[in-house]
Homo-oligomer: A and B are copies of this chain.
Amino acid sequence: MSDQWIVEQLHPFYRKALSYQTKLLDEQTEYQHIQVFQTEFFGNVMLLDGIIQLTERDNAGYHEMISHVPLLTQTEPKSVLIVGGGDGGTLQQVLRYPSVEQAVLCELDRRVVEAGIEYFPQFGNPFNDSRVELVIEDAFAYLQGITGQFDVIIADTTDPIGAAEKLFTPEFYRLMVKALKPYGAITTQCEQMFFDVQLIKDMMGIGQSLVQHPAYYHTLVPTYPGGGIGFLYMSNTPWTEGLNKPYPGPMHYLTPDIHRAAFACPQFFKDAVAA
């Protein structure tokens, strides 16, 4: 292995480093610092503002879980919105459903989309699919005029720092719920059970005020801080509606057991969120 290291620090108490071979991209865009590295073990790795967004090796635990958990609760989902997700990994999963007629991806930074197409070819350039509408815009602005349109909304965002901070507010969550059909489902990226419990508690509180069946679930992503990340599911349809539904094809991470297991949270976390 090489002795060059990608060093990441999102929390003040924790750092992680991946050995890399080549830096493929290093660019300050209008909105953020975007980097792509080639690594031997993890494959290509994308960072935004120094934080690891995805690797070829372990992104399925993220992309399959953020997309199929809400999608499987819907009978024949037709209209899907992805907030962020410019790398294309979530979009690829959404497009696997033949029922999907419209997949809007609302991403602030066109350069993320271009980097995804160039450096993550295994996502199959989903932007070429005729069902896709790419909107390069602030999601806050985009959602203002939309009511009751989407079966599924997936907030595949960066962490609540800088430009993405306002995507973790009651105002933005309300805009998403307004844009959703009455029994549609939303999933938002919602951080790490051990490191971010206060943020998750706040987001759960917002979810409880907006929908009948909010629920927290989580997945394994070794290259994320603490080795995993969670999601907030928000819907008037319970997440259990999606269990044991037929998949749109083979999965790399998801199984029916994993689907159920993702909603099992440790006792200390349940206590902290309920307190």
Q: Enumerate chain A interface residues (CB-CB to B < 8 A).
A: 1, 5, 11-19, 39-42, 57-58, 60-61, 192-195, 220, 222, 224-228, 250-255, 257-258, 260-268, 270
A1: B residues at CB distance < 8 A: 12-13
CA distance A251 to B225 in the complex (A): 25
Shortest A43–chain B CB gap in Å is 11
New A-B contacts (13) at CB < 8 Å, excluding given A11-B41, A13-B40, A222-B228: A5-B15, A13-B18, A14-B17, A14-B41, A14-B222, A16-B16, A192-B222, A194-B220, A228-B228, A253-B267, A255-B264, A258-B264, A260-B260
Supposing A12-B1, A195-B222, A222-B195 touch, asked if A266 and B61 sit within 8 A by C-beta, the answer is yes
Pick the residue among B39, B60, B257 that contacts A13 (CB under 8 A): B39
A254: B residues at CB distance < 8 A: 266-267
Q: Offer 12 A-B interface pairs, CB within 8 angstroms, sorted by A.
A: A13-B40, A14-B18, A15-B16, A15-B17, A222-B226, A222-B227, A228-B228, A252-B266, A254-B266, A255-B264, A261-B262, A261-B264
CA distance A111 to B13 in the complex (A): 28
Q: Which residue of B lies closest to A254 (CB)?
A: B267
Shortest A4–chain B CB gap in Å is 11
Q: Closest 8 A-B residue pairs measured CB to CB?
A: A227-B227, A261-B261, A222-B226, A257-B264, A261-B264, A13-B41, A15-B17, A1-B12
Q: Which residue of B lies closest to A17 (CB)?
A: B15
Query: A255 and B228: CB pair below 8 A?
Result: no
CA distance A16 to B250 in the complex (A): 33
CA distance A13 to B226 in the complex (A): 16
A14: B residues at CB distance < 8 A: 16-19, 41, 222
